[in-house]
Structure 1
Amino acid sequence: MKKAVLLMAYGGPENLNEIEPFMLRLLRRDQLPPGLLQRVEKKYQAIGGGSPLPSICRKIRNKLAEKIDYPPIYLAFRYAEPSIATVVSEMTADGVNEVLALSLSPHSSTISSAAYYQTLEEVTSDSDLKLKRLEGWFQEDAYNRLLADRILRTAQERDLHLDAADTQLVFSAHNIPQSYIDKGDTYVDEIKANVAAVVKLLPACRTSMAYQSKGNIPGAWLEPEIEEHLLELKQTGIRNIMVVPVSFSMDHLETLYDLDLELQDFCTQHNLNLCRSQPANADDDFISMLANFIKERS
């Protein structure tokens, strides 16, 4: 039986020409609402003209391939090319009959990892491919250590004293509708477990959680939203904020625009000092953790 590892990620437009097809796939529409494309283009222009996420994913795949001789490593995106369906066809043509599927999103969510696995199951439903999910890598000690290391490194670079009375670590996660949680989505529980594990590795400091990048689906979303939360912290005397983008393993629009530009402007307007720690991206410590995780389960 020939095995293969399939890395799956959200995807993103690498240039301005890819934004419209990406958004159409994301929103499952034949046509975008008036003005939406222009608004999204402005955001991507502000971070250099495209998302770095696909390139980071390719680096992760290539670095993993250097550490893992077998099984081979494939990469697919949920909302961009190469799509999950495209790569499944490629694997089948290569003689693969068992897929070890790993989402590069740390936590399970209806809009991320769960959607990737659902798509994979749909496109393989009529095939003989055997599927195995490699889930839960956010619980690995090595992953929690690398997140803690990035927090401490950022604090040192910014001369930020984490134990100061006017300083707070805010773990930020992508917002999702409350209805998903009500239906059994484990997203919040997994993030809370991840945060708790990281905090244990840090010196005593003030910490909290908030949610960012709220979408347009009607109804209640998770709370608190990060802007509202920072204003509440300000009322308690907090002036220095380090945001930890805990639900993102890689930089993309939600870190580079929503946090580094939009939230930074918000904090400047409200006399708050903001910095953020870096996600794992394709750094060597992340690659080593993923390689060990895959080897132990393949």
Structure 2
Amino acid sequence: MTTSPGYDALLVLSFGGPEEPAHVRPFLENVTRGRGVPPERLDAVVEHYMHFGGVSPINALNRDIIAEIETELAAAGIDLPIYFGNRNWHPMVEDTVASMRADGVERALVFPTSAWGGYSGCRQYHEDIARARDAVGDGAPDLTKIRQYYDHPLMIGAFADAIAAAAAELPEPVRTQFRLVFTAHSIPNAADANAGPPQDGGQLYSRQVAEASRLVAAAAGIDDYDLVWQSRSGPPQVPWLEPDICDHLDALSDKGVEAVVVCPIGFVSDHLEVVWDLDTEAEEKARELNMAFARAATPGTDTRFAKMVVELIGEHLGDGTVRGTGSVPRYGSTLNGARCALHCCEQPTRPSRP
């Protein structure tokens, strides 16, 4: 096995989630710090987590992904130890980067568990990296974030096959008559307007999500579909991307739609915003409407996802070509002619609470 030239390690950087009930409230306070979220809103989200025993599946799913990446790296003959760090809960990225320094890591790649552009999907990961390096201080390893990968053909293929598998779960009378609905995490309209380099015109996040939906639908052999949003958490006076998935199910029912397959295009893994907002709330709404409902799997458990990560690593090692089939730009720290720019994806000023 050979050591990867120029890099000593891979850091898998994610959002984080509680792994026992006592962690839920402090985790949510980390997520919402500086956002002025009222305590009663946090209380409601705490109850969502308690519905699942106070445990988010995200950390366990990320550990599974890391194990798959280790297997694929070994198969490729790449000796690259993997570290795991989070933005909002343990293992915190600051602690992970400190461990990397203690282990003698000098230069590492960073794989974020977000495929997208925009503030939350990309820039905030750059801020996580900078914050962790500042916290560690002298000797902190250089960290290079891997590019956005919303249109990578391996991930597109995994989503397309997941749609077919979900459709097969529908009752036979409606199995060939379902409506395909893609969903991704909503963000404020103002944040989407700022997503991407200023010269690119904004709305990079929503454009990438729309393009990924188009690519997956085409790979699944489906011409007509919908793109909606989920998981909004802001005050009602602030416009967010719409329509919401549950509102859209109402609209589809009014049109006589009897079955839906929902594909969570915006998510790598089945973390809480998938299992609550889709598998709980949206499925309950469909049941109320007497609508057959099936949810496609996220790609993190598909072996192609880990293969994609190794391909992305290969780009930085100089032994892989840049693969992506989308027409919307993808940015990042790689030699693909589309580096992240100064003032890219700046977070809009949050309105003060009344």
Residues 243 and 215 from structure 1, CA distance in 2 versus in 1: closer, same or farther, beyond 3 angstroms? same
User: Any conservation in 2 of the 1:227–1:266 contact (CA below 8 Å)?
Assistant: yes
Q: Secondary structure at the match of 1:215?
A: coil
8 Å contact kept, 1:6–1:100: yes
Relative distance call for 1:133 and 1:38 in structure 2 (3 A) is: closer
CA contact (8 A) 1:16 1:41 kept: no
1:74 corresponds to which residue?
83
Rounded Cα–Cα distance in structure 2 between residues aligned with 1:265 and 1:65? 38
Q: CA–CA distance in 1 between the matches of 2:254 and 2:207? A: 28
Mind listing any 5+ residue stretches in structure 2 that lack a counterpart? 1-5, 197-203, 318-354
1:44-193 superposed matches below 5 A: 44-68=49-73, 69-124=78-133, 127=138, 129-159=141-171, 164=177, 167-185=178-196, 186-193=204-211
Q: Which residue of 2 aligns with 1:250?
A: 269
Aligned to 1:40: 45
Q: Distance in 2 between matches of 1:284 and 1:257?
A: 25
SS of match in other structure, 1:114: helix
Q: Distance in 2 between matches of 1:4 and 1:43?
A: 36
Contact map agreement 2:118 2:194 (CA 8 A) in 1? no
Q: Which segment drifts farther, 37-46 or 59-68?
A: 37-46
- Structure 1 position 238, deviation (Å): 1.5
The answer for the alignment partner of 1:280 in structure 2 is 299
Cα distance change on mapping 1:184 and 1:108 into 2, 3 Å: closer
Distance (Å, rounded) in 2 between the aligned partners of 1:103 and 1:62? 16
Count of equivalent residues: 296
Q: Does 1:3 align with 2:12?
A: no
User: Would the aligned equivalents of 1:239 and 1:271 in 2 still touch at CA under 8 Å?
Assistant: yes
> Deviation per CA, 1:204-243, whole angstroms, max 9, x where unpaired?
3430100011112451100111222222222322121111
Matches within 5 A, 1:250-269: 250-269=269-288
Take 2:105 and 2:271, find their aligned partners in 1: how far apart are those partners? 31
Give 3-state SS (helix, strand or coil) of 2:26's partner: helix
Gaps of 5+ in 1: none
Corresponding residue to 1:219 among 238, 242, 246? 238
What is the alpha-carbon distance in structure 1 between the residues aligned to residue 70 and residue 294 of structure 2? 34
Partner in structure 2 of residue 28 of structure 1? 33
Q: Distance in 2 between matches of 1:108 and 1:127?
A: 30
% identical equivalent positions: 26
Instruction: Provide TM-score, normalisation by structure 2.
Output: 0.77
Note the C-alpha offset of 1:67.
2.6
Alignment correspondent of 1:197: 215
**What is the RMSD of the two structures over their aligned residues, measured on CA atoms?**
2.3
